[in-house]
Structure 1
Amino acid sequence: MSDQPVHDAPSGGPSGCNEYLELSRRNFLAATTFTALAAAAPSWLPRVAMAKDYRSSARDVIISIYLRGAADGLTLLVPYADNNYYSLRPTLNVPRPDSGNPNRATALTSFFGLPPAMTPLIPAYQSGQLLFLHATGSTDPSRSHFDAQRFMEVGKANDPALGTGWLGRHLASVAPMDPNAILRAVGISTGLMRTLVGAPNTLPIPNLDSFNLSGSTSSVAARRSAIEDMYGPVADPLHAAAITTIQTIDLLNTINFEGYLPSGGAVYPAGAFGTALKSTAALLKAQVGVEAVAIDLNGWDTHANQGIFTGTMSGLMTQLAQGLAALHADMNNGVVQPSHLAVVMSEFGRRPAQNGSAGCDHGHGNAAIVMGNAVAGGRVLCTWPGLAPGQLYQGLDLNVTIDYRDVLAEIVQERLGGADLSYVFPGYTPTFRGVTA
């Protein structure tokens, strides 16, 4: 491991492997039973009173963004000062900042830079509210999408008995920010992300602006009555879940998601990811007691035709960077908003050496992003392990020098009001890295 210091700056898609494609299908099929209930919002539903203002809370609302498919951290955040990066990727690299190439990296530090598609994040970085990390991730050696995603989302590797998510356990272990909250957490998806499993008052909702019972007024009323009655006595868990769903429909209909106008000149990218972030901003500004939002951005399994300037990865990076940049502008426009924090991670990185198909295979260490009001940003947090043959994990991949649980545990304790880290991350004693301000 090199003595490269911590870097503080002052100033898949169709190409995915079979396992990733099968995992995506499995997640979709597992969620279809819930989708029948969650179709779109009837205008006749009664309006409900807004929850109390929680802007003064010392706790952040967390936005957990997962890049499914194993994003290539060596492209997201380019180690341009490590010559081995260019040796390992002779035709799949981002040129040095001083190269004069139009696709060159934009330097953040004397060691790391951003590819063109990620430069929309520079204003948030320069504001001190965005932190990059590198050589981070899970220390577990798995290169299986299914296993690595599960291990990271539950917060512990190789424990089949642990079925709840780290964020779900956190929310279950703390009092709600608003004691009257109907909805404490939401996964913007057809099925609940494992990260949120175990959280109270939590639902998966594919589209916040169209969560309802569809049909005519009379048919919706009849269906609503049937749902309220069909699960038996009030004490029955299924009855309680049905009532919570109906209450959530009523709650979300108090928010004009479709007509929401972002602040601060924010422009969210087109597509599901941009819509999810825009809806999240509207949800947080409505101050209805939501404490956590989980969002997926899929398609990062780039074994072939990775496309770092045009193509698959360039398009994904554009969505990610433009979406986060819009969220930053929207939630930091001079008007007091709920304090929030977004964390962006992926199950593992990709191999430093490019393959013969203009892509990169499954790797180990990766990059991550943390953005928010109380983030110690404007820098890259990393102890760089190096990319020389003797420095690579198992002789192949970028080593992990910052365990992802160190990052999340610090966020949980310092910004989310968590006090029992041994419950949230069982069997692990974290080292705080200075992620939060």
Structure 2
Amino acid sequence: MKHDCNGDHHQSDLSRREFVGASALAGAALITAPAWLPRTSFARSLAGGPRDVLVQVYLRGAADGLTIVPPYGDPQYYLRRPTLSIPQPGQANGAIALPGSTLFGLAPSAAPLLTPFQAGKLLVVHATGLVDPSRSHFDAQKYMELGTTSAFASQTTTGWIGRHLATSTPLGNGLLRGMSMTDGLPTSLVGAPATLPIKDPDGFDLLGQANTKTARRARLTNMYAGEPAPLGPAATSTFGTIDLLNAVNFTGYVPANGAVYPNSTFGNQLKWTATMIKANLGLEVVTIDIGGWDLHAQLGPLTGTMATKTDDLSRAIQAFYLDLSLTHLDQVTLVVMSEFGRRAGENASSGCDHGHGNCMLVMGGHIVGGQVLANWPGLATNQLDNGDLAITIDHRDILAEIVLNRLGNTNLGTVFPNYTPTLRGITA
């Protein structure tokens, strides 16, 4: 079994230096972007099917789903984690029992997730993940983002989201269909048309001094004006994307419905995402990475690193839900996933090593939430997969139903090749 211990690194080789080449896929049209809310509202649906904006949050490093959503009703959980478990509901620092379940709760640091859960808009999926046996961060992230397993990875050169976008009709004019808020394009977006890595959409512009920007822009425009594809269209679409994002008032954005985003990188990223969704830019996919979950030592489920990271994750998702719930949640599906979970038992360093099964979070206006979807295998020795939580729901089942029913794409055999998904009834 292969392991590696640097879980925050996996992206494709696309970097900002290759930005112009990547943006050749973005299309050649320039548009006039909205000053805040749209003057032109793009169509939100294909003929016969809905179209959500997909927001994928990837917890790189293997987040511990047994802490985020502890199985407090399984006695083996406490036997395997005598010092790192979340106490029973009703005890000090105890789990928050999820309505409708006598098995699962939320860690105290995940309490903000109760808001969308109780509203029926947040679904928890447990004992899920990548069915491939790899415990290597690099390999597991690669296979998951390719939408396949090790058996077929060599035959797959594009990401599952990339194939989705490549086989679906653009919303709006298709200038900017996908965005990763990362330095480089993640594997899941490889092959995606009109998709760029834009770490900070509020600051996306030509580099250099502000007082020379107009002149530099004019020179670049003239330089590429007569160039054939891919350079000419790449430059045109890049300038169009800059104009599109610069016309959005990110700084002046006021979240709705009392939402308060945490003052953190992830909080800002979700706030920017909400801003762009409300501006109706035609954006179809946003991917966000959160690193730092590879906690082999000092897990800190109640007061340490795990608790701090889970709190930030949960408060940002709660704010995103509140912000969109009155007007735009019906147009959004958010998915939180990680390459694998942590071991069922704790180690001698007060941490947990690489595991297998994990939890996923799915939120949206048309998600059948307020429940935990799980075929719980148990944590007894004979129920584990090489000492880890077994996987009973392939993560592709969850993603495929979203692609089909919320993204309006029937090409599941292309998006997830060599796999026939089982639809679990998670969408309404």
Structure 1: how far apart are the matches of 2:378 and 2:243? 53
TM-score by length of 1: 0.88
Change over 3 Å in CA distance of 1:435–1:185 after alignment to 2: same
* Structure 1 segments unaligned to the other structure (5+ residues): 1-16, 38-44
**2:345 alignment counterpart:** 353
Structure 1: how far apart are the matches of 2:16 and 2:304? 30
222-231 vs 64-73, greater mean Cα deviation: 222-231
**2:281 alignment counterpart:** 288
| Conserved 8 A contact 1:382-1:402 | yes
**2:79 alignment counterpart:** 87
**2:206 alignment counterpart:** 213
**Residue identity in the other structure for 2:271:** K
Structure 1: how far apart are the matches of 2:140 and 2:13? 20
Counterpart of 2:5 (choices 16, 19, 22) is 19
Check if 1:329 corresponds to 2:317.
no
Q: CA deviation at 1:219?
A: 2.5
| Conserved 8 A contact 1:73-1:367 | yes
Check if 1:132 corresponds to 2:124.
yes
In the TM superposition, 1:35-434 aligns within 5 A as 48=33, 50=38, 52-54=40-42, 57=45, 58-98=50-90, 100-101=91-92, 103-108=93-98, 109-158=101-150, 159-178=153-172, 180-217=173-210, 219-230=212-223, 233-333=226-326, 335=327, 339-394=331-386, 396-434=387-425
Q: CA RMSD in A?
A: 2.3
Aligned residues: 408
Change over 3 Å in CA distance of 1:36–1:210 after alignment to 2: farther
Cα displacement string for residues 318-365 of structure 1 (whole angstroms, at most 9, x for unaligned residues): 1110011000000013x3566101011000000001000000000000
| Conserved 8 A contact 2:62-2:137 | yes
Change over 3 Å in CA distance of 1:222–1:197 after alignment to 2: same
Q: CA deviation at 1:83?
A: 0.5
Q: CA deviation at 1:315?
A: 1.1
Corresponding residue SS for 1:160: helix
TM-score by length of 2: 0.90
Change over 3 Å in CA distance of 1:387–1:46 after alignment to 2: closer
Change over 3 Å in CA distance of 1:106–1:75 after alignment to 2: same
Q: CA deviation at 1:34?
A: 5.2
Change over 3 Å in CA distance of 1:56–1:175 after alignment to 2: closer
Identity rate, percent: 48
Counterpart of 2:17 (choices 17, 33, 44) is 33
Structure 1 residue runs of 4 or more that deviate by more than 4 Å after TM superposition: 26-30, 34-37, 229-233
Q: CA deviation at 1:31?
A: 2.9
Q: CA deviation at 1:392?
A: 0.4
Q: CA deviation at 1:384?
A: 0.2
Structure 1: how far apart are the matches of 2:374 and 2:33? 47
Structure 2: how far apart are the matches of 1:260 and 1:34? 31
Structure 2: how far apart are the matches of 1:172 and 1:407? 20
Cα displacement string for residues 386-436 of structure 1 (whole angstroms, at most 9, x for unaligned residues): 100000012x11100000000000000011011110000000000001111
Corresponding residue SS for 2:115: helix
Corresponding residue SS for 1:20: coil
Corresponding residue SS for 1:135: strand
Corresponding residue SS for 1:136: strand
Change over 3 Å in CA distance of 1:359–1:377 after alignment to 2: same
| Conserved 8 A contact 2:321-2:329 | no
Structure 2: how far apart are the matches of 1:433 and 1:155? 18
